[in-house]
Amino acid sequence: MGKDELLEKLFPSGRALFIPIDHAATSFPEKGLEDLSKLIPKLSSANAIIAHKGVVSHYNSKHHFIMHLSASTIHGGSNSDNKVLTGSVIEAKKRGAIGVSAQINLGSEAESEMIERMGEISKQAFEQNMPLLGMVYPRGPNLKIDENDSTKGVSHAVRLAFELGCDMVKVPWTGDKDSFSLVCNSAPIPVLIAGGEHKGSFDDLLKLIRDAIESGAKGVCMGRQIFAAENVHERCEKISQLIHEK
């Protein structure tokens, strides 16, 4: 299957709901990820689940998976934000994934190494016709934000992902529609908003998603907002309906 066909599977309406469940590699126990056999069937409304290789191999028979190819743990000290490679695109294909993802932390002491790793994954993805999702977060200690940049580095994150060959990118919400419109116009690839820690109500989250889509986002890539909820299946369904305008 060619990359365009795989992207159509990931974005069936031109938009997508991706649910990352790779968090347990970084830190565990993680609320909601204790029993994947019970969790994953509740995520049936997702267009793809993002997970590390062991999870992909174990559960790929009934779900679309994007295999995450970079990792670190909370025990890494000064290297905790240094995402190292843990697999390859060919391996992801063999394990049943229909896409791959990797992470860059802009401003990290290890930023250059993560950029180099993304470049390698991008090369492999190009050669294998595999969609690549870049997770790019402007949050390291060396981050330099232009005083006129209302996106606080998020536009740069999107542009970097595009320049490195990513087919889609996950970035944080900037807080308002005007600044996020600038983010979405930074490159001609789909922009997905991250979830992160959200302390408001579910209605607040739906409004945030609606605002992001109206700003030009092509969907969301949210983990804890969904898998850590008490009503996972219902929340997943409602977010999917909003994204795909069902």
Point out the residues that are catalytic.
Answer: 22, 137, 170
Mention every residue, 6+ apart, whose C-beta is less than 8 A from residue 183.
151, 154, 155, 158, 171, 174, 191, 215, 216
Mention every residue, 6+ apart, whose C-beta is less than 8 A from residue 5.
none
| Partner residues linked to 194 by β-bridges | 221
Six-digit token string for 177: 């529609």
The helix (H) or strand (E) run that includes residue 117 is: helix 111-128
Strands (DSSP E) found in the chain = 16-20, 48-51, 65-68, 70-71, 84-85, 99-106, 132-138, 168-171, 191-194, 219-221
